[in-house]
Structure 1
Amino acid sequence: MARIEDVRPLGAELERSYTVYVRGRLKFRVGQIVYVAFSPDESVMGFAFPKEERAALVLSRGHVFHLPAASDMRFHWVHAELAALDPTEAREIVVDAWRVVVPRKLSVAYDVTHPDGPGGVRSP
């Protein structure tokens, strides 16, 4: 079961990323682009995700992932129930969302400096 404390440090540790509170909600940004946002009660994590892949993600694990509100479907965005994720998976989602909004060279540099992935767990 993941908690916000499992992913909060990434908001400041990932290159060009910083955390902000907007109307009481924690968000991770690169520049002015939000790539992760939490619900006010911190139970749901919204994150940047390719539009063309999100339907498959939601269908694969509907108890964990769901689409944003109809008014937000134009954005590259998906929601996840934080408690339904394990901490490693939650960190991987944050890093993957960050990759959506940063230049490829930063993503590649992250892979070089973090060969075991976010949280020090080597990917299979």
Structure 2
Amino acid sequence: MTVTAEDVRRIALSLPEVEEKLAWGMPTFRVRNKIFVSVADDDGSIGVKCPVEDRAELIAAEPEKFFLREGHDDAYAWLRVRLAALDDEEELRAILLDSWRQAAPRTLAEAHRDLRVPTTD
């Protein structure tokens, strides 16, 4: 099963206080107006929040899945994810929830500490 941009939209919008807004010609998903995922239509990838110190390790471990747009992502705590390379929707859910937690205000994240993204079985 290939993960799609529609899966990203459905899962992102299921998280607390998330809204979708168009920015730079692409859909972005925000928690209290802080972007935690953007969908790039041109290359089938998404951008997600990721601590700068964790990016190199993720890219080295799975370069077919994770990457940076050089010159664009270098200075930001973001990582690109190729949707077609994800194992399944469960992996997408985990990535989106992690990114949401990084962008959400601390009080909101704490209030939803045990949050799990629902499956669609």
Task: Give the aligned residue type for 2:101.
Answer: R
Give me the TM-score of the superposition, normalised by structure 1: 0.81
Q: Identity of aligned pairs, percent?
A: 31
SS in 1 for 2:118: helix
TM-score normalised by L of structure 2? 0.83
Pair 1:99–1:58, CA change in 2 (3 A): same
Determine the structure 2 residue equivalent to 1:93. Answer: 95
- The structure richer in helix per residue is 1
Provide the alpha-carbon RMSD of the alignment.
2.1
Inter-partner Cα distance in structure 2 for 1:42 and 1:34:
19
Q: Identify the residue that residue 108 of structure 2 maps to in structure 1.
A: 106
Q: Unpaired segments of 5 or more residues in structure 2?
A: none
Q: Which runs of 5+ in 1 are unaligned?
A: none
Equivalents in 1 of 2:47, 2:75: separation in Å?
Answer: 14
CA deviations over 1:65-119 (Å, ceiling 9, x no partner): 002332331110000110111111111111110111113343343343x4xx323
